[in-house]
């Protein structure tokens, strides 16, 4: 097929890490660049998580396609009604945005200058979230393992895998992957400090947090 199309308003968002994510890249099969959208059903909902792109080196472009967003960029506030385009060429810029009107939707496009595009590990982890919420641990584990196949040793994926395994009654595997996650990303210790997913492991002498 020479083209593919969809209507964003007809998509059911995936809820993950406080965001309502519309997985455009995956649904359309885009391979050359990262493209996704985020919607805020209510005023105050996050439409862009608080983050930088330092670890990826990505440039990012955001387009407010519905509603009104309020961006915070390195501490500076930007009012962004529908039609606003925000380009962030510097990966170190801290970015965050919330919905200022119900139904605000922001399109996000990104990639690393001068390099071929690589699907980010977080996409598989976000897609696993509905399965985790539904107790469908085999499906969630399969998606996270796909992430690790594409990004071996990714600390966040290892952590999510450990959480799923702990919930699924696989404590030995969970401990091993949690240990690997800590080695890859020391901040895992903070993530797991009060994470109820790991409660079944806390009394073990080999619990690594």
Last residue of a domain, one of 111, 144, 167: 111
In Å, the largest CA–CA distance within the chain is 57
How much is the pLDDT for 32? 92
- 86 and 145 belong to one structural domain: no
Whole-angstrom Cα distance, residue 107 to residue 91? 18
Let me know: does 198 contact 192? Beta carbons within 8 Å: yes
Q: What is the mean pLDDT of residues 121-129?
A: 94
The DSSP line for 153-170 is: T-HHHHHHHHHHHHHTT-
The number of beta carbons lying within 10 Å of the beta carbon of residue 174 is 24
Q: pLDDT for 148-194, tens place per residue?
A: 999 999 999 999 999 999 999 999 999 999 999 999 999 999 999 98
Task: Indicate whether 21 and 71 sit together in one domain.
Answer: yes
Q: Partners of 169 in the beta sheet?
A: none
- Residue 17 belongs to a domain: yes
107 and 12 in a common domain: yes
For 115, the token pair is 């390099």
Structural domain span for residue 103: 8-111
> Is residue 136 within 8 Å of 168, Cβ to Cβ?
no
Positive or negative: CA dihedral 71, 76, 80, 85: negative
The CA distance from 8 to 13, in Å, is 9
What is the structure's pLDDT at 56?
87
User: Does residue 74 belong to any structural domain of this protein?
Assistant: yes
> Apex CA 112: angle with CA 48 and CA 4, to 5°?
70
Model confidence pLDDT, tens digit, residues 49-77: 999 999 889 999 999 999 999 999 999 99
Structure confidence at residue 1 (pLDDT): 61
CATH number of the domain bearing residue 172: 1.25.40.10
**CB distance 63 to 106 below 8 Å:** yes
pLDDT over threshold 70, residue 196: yes
DSSP class of residue 93 equals -
| CA–CA gap between residue 154 and residue 122 (Å, rounded) | 10
């Amino acid at each position: 097929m020479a083209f593919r199309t969809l209507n964003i308003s007809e998509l059911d968002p995936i809820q993950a890490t406080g965001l309502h994510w519309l997985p455009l890249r995956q649904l359309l099969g885009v391979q050359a660049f990262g493209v996704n959208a985020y919607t805020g059903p209510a005023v105050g909902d996050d439409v862009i998580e608080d983050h930088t792109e330092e670890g990826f080196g990505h440039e990012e472009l955001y387009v407010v396609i519905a509603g009104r967003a309020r961006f915070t960029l390195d501490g500076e506030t930007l009012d962004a009604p529908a039609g606003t385009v925000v380009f962030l060429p510097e990966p170190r810029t801290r970015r965050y945005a919330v919905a200022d009107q119900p139904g605000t939707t922001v399109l996000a496009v990104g990639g690393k200058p001068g390099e071929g595009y690589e699907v980010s590990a977080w996409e598989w982890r976000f897609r696993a979230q509905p399965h985790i919420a539904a107790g469908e641990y085999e499906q969630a584990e399969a998606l996270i393992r796909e992430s690790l196949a594409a990004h071996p040793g990714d600390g966040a994926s290892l952590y999510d895998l450990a959480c799923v395994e702990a919930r699924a009654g696989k404590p030995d595997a969970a401990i091993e992957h949690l240990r690997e996650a800590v080695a890859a990303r020391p901040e895992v210790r903070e993530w797991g400090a009060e994470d109820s997913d790991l409660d079944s492991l806390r009394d073990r002498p080999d619990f690594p947090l």
